[in-house]
Amino acid sequence: MIHSPAHPGGILAEELAELGISVSQASRELGVSRQTLSAIVNERSPVTADMAVRIGHYVGNGAEIWARLQMNHDLWHAQRRMKRVLKKLPRASAVR
């Protein structure tokens, strides 16, 4: 069975735990509400581009990795959610 790519919030939760930083502390230091960061680390909200920039700067590994993690997660779920729709859609080369 193929598993979904990890949600970036779960990875961030692990990073914060390893650093001994609470969600409350990280949210203050990131300049976002605790609720916003909590929703991300609990995988209820996506990492937006702005948040990817903040997190990448905060943990020191750059925004691209956080944006890419979110994109991979979203794309995997979209492809599975749209499987039936895609079967009915023609391909551009077959329409001509």
Using one digit for the tens of pLDDT, what is the confidence trace for 28-44? Answer: 999 999 999 999 999 99
In this structure, how many other beta carbons lie within 10 angstroms of the beta carbon of residue 44?
10
Q: Return the amino acid letter for 53.
A: V
Q: Give helix 23-30 / helix 49-59 axis angle, nearest 10°.
A: 110
- What is the pLDDT at residue 77? 95
Domains along the chain?
8-95 (1.10.260.40)
CA angle at 54 for the pair 49 and 57, rounded to the nearest 5°: 120
Alpha helices in 1-96 (DSSP H): 8-19, 23-30, 34-41, 49-59, 63-81, 83-88, 92-95
- Reported pTM: 0.87
> Residue 45 and residue 35: Cα distance in Å, rounded?
10
Mean pLDDT confidence for 11-17 = 98
